[in-house]
Structure 1
Amino acid sequence: MSQPANAALILIDMEMGFLSPQSAHCIPSAAKTVPNCQRAIASARKRGIPIFFVIRQYRPDGSDVEITRYPEWAAGGRAMAPGSCGPLSCQMPPELAPQAGDFIIVKPRWSAFFQTQLDLMLRRLDIETVVLAGTTTPNCVRTTCYDANALDYNVVVLEDCTSSKTDEIQRVNIEDMARMGATIIDSAAFEARGVEGMENLRRQVHAKACESCVPRG
């Protein structure tokens, strides 16, 4: 199946430091989403949709750890150091390992867009729609969702590829992103259709703006 190259899959923070029960930063339900994330990755590859693996790393001295996370990070083994391996590392599980041609971005804070080259790279690829997956829903997925909306991308969230500390946190944040304008689907729907048939608000609004432009000269 072919897919216009106007969508990108962005997989956020699916690294051992958030997946392993041995990590102080573990999101218990995140490991359960690995098969669904794997399914989404396979679907994107099949359709020629570029994949961005976005991860968080922390300097061993903790100088770049979020102030609200620092006490937990320091007490919990100083996880996710660059080049580390094992249950506290920033490595992804084998099922989600990047391949040649995939993109890897290290982000310094919650959003995949904050002080990274993600927006530049997406625009260079003429991406109009971002498909979000990963952990956690209320933090890194949601901030990426809102930043993507602010930057005029169509936003799709793969609900069963995201996770939160509780079911209630998951529910209210998914609902909030839907109210903001994100399209909420699951990995099965993405496997079946990709982003085909979804409304391209970005293109519609940009076209309207161009129609209203007054020629100069």
Structure 2
Amino acid sequence: MACTALIVIDMVNTYEHEDALVDSVRTCLPGVETVLRRARADGSPVIYVNDNFGRWRSHHGEILQSALAGEHSELVKPIAPDEDSLFVVKARHSAFFETPLAYLLGQLGAERVALCGQVTEQCVLYSALDAYIRHLDVVVAADAVAHIDPGLAQAALRMMERNMSADIQRSREISFSGPPAR
């Protein structure tokens, strides 16, 4: 049975970045919480795909603990993985690049992915492209993605919609039940 998997990109983070990203994450956090709640309520797979920050001996538990111990733990705690969440570690921008994500999605029967996280004009954009070239339907929760540059983020959303046939929706509008929209 085909399903929609929610992919949460790079939200388990210590936020040792410029203030613009932290402010943007604060703004999109309610959308991330909403889309997580909707996916979990439907029993849809929730997959966190997260940067390993160059720590090649780290695993998801260590990444989460570092983020929760960081200066901006209030940005991580409300959206932290639960016991049913899956976790994939990545080293580059795309959630798919040299990770087992495509295989995992195949095992789960996912034909559609809903993307949220950060940053819109980089990791979300590249992950959407890689999902599209793998013939997955893509939906992006526009109110659940953070950015560094607002202009580039808007351009990235337009590119995903136009060039990758991505469905750009608000987090409360994304349906996880039923067959993927075509």
TM-score range, shorter chain: 0.7 to 0.9
Mind listing any 5+ residue stretches in structure 1 that lack a counterpart?
64-80, 201-217
Return structure 1 stretches of 4+ with deviation > 4 angstroms: 88-92, 195-198
- Provide the C-alpha distance between the structure 2 equivalents of 1:59 and 1:197, rounded to a whole number of angstroms: 38
| Equivalent residue letter for 1:9 | L
| Equivalent residue letter for 2:35 | A
- Provide the C-alpha distance between the structure 1 equivalents of 2:116 and 2:158, rounded to a whole number of angstroms: 15
**Does the alignment pair 1:96 with 2:93?**
no
Q: Secondary structure at the match of 1:176?
A: helix
Post-superposition CA distance 1:137-158 (Å, at most 9, x none):
0110000000000111000000
Q: Alignment partner for residue 110 of structure 1, among 93, 105, 116?
A: 93
1:168 positional shift:
1.2
- Aligned equivalent of 1:185: 169
| Equivalent residue letter for 1:152 | H
Q: Alignment partner for residue 6 of structure 2, among 9, 13, 21?
A: 9
Q: Where in structure 2 are the equivalents of 1:117-196 lying within 5 Å?
A: 117-180=100-163, 181-190=165-174, 193-194=175-176, 196=178
Q: Alignment partner for residue 84 of structure 1, among 48, 66, 74?
A: 66
Structure with greater proportional helix content: 2
Post-superposition CA distance 1:25-48 (Å, at most 9, x none):
551311221111011100001111
The higher radius of gyration belongs to: 1
- Which moved further from structure 2: 106-115 or 82-91? 82-91
Q: Secondary structure at the match of 2:66?
A: coil
Structure with greater proportional strand content: 2
- Provide the C-alpha distance between the structure 1 equivalents of 2:37 and 2:50, rounded to a whole number of angstroms: 19
**TM-score, normalised by the number of residues in structure 2:** 0.84
- Provide the C-alpha distance between the structure 2 equivalents of 1:195 and 1:98, rounded to a whole number of angstroms: 21
1:170 positional shift:
1.6
| Equivalent residue letter for 1:182 | A
- The RMSD of aligned alpha carbons is 2.6
1:197 positional shift:
7.2
Q: Percent identity?
A: 27
Q: How many residue pairs align between the two structures?
A: 173
| Equivalent residue letter for 1:98 | P
Q: Alignment partner for residue 24 of structure 1, among 6, 17, 32?
A: 17
